[in-house]
Structure 1
Amino acid sequence: MEAHTGDRLLTHGRTVGQHDKVAEIVEVLGAGGAPPYRVRFADGHEHLISPGPDSVVQHTHVRKQAPETP
């Protein structure tokens, strides 16, 4: 999993009736975009989280890749 500041972290509900949770990634603490992440929820609450397999990163914009060298 790789994320950058400003991306969103979507955590799927684990049981029937539990809603998905969406948070903004405000700080990436791992090397190369790896967890843990400091996230902020819509209500302003912040958490330090290492997401599990029920989470996905939603990138907020396309990042340029370096051109390949021959």
Structure 2
Amino acid sequence: MSENMAALTTQKADVDKQVAVLSHALETTKAELKTAQDKVAFLTDENKVILQEKAVIQGQFKQLQSSL
């Protein structure tokens, strides 16, 4: 009976260690995901600005073409 108890105690300690490692890995992954999401949001905003600038330049080019 006490051998069983010792084995279960050892198993629980191992599982607790694995849970701690996996929890840390999860937190790291969450932080990396947040960083990636922030970068995507930044690039999306930057892309919108570039598309607006492109539209302005295309408009100016059309005006220039029509004045030639």
Write 1 or 2 for the structure with the bigger share of strand.
Answer: 1
Write 1 or 2 for the structure with the bigger share of helix.
Answer: 2
Give the number of the structure with larger relative contact order, counting CA–CA contacts within 8 Å between residues 6 or more apart. 1
TM-score, normalised with respect to structure 1: 0.13
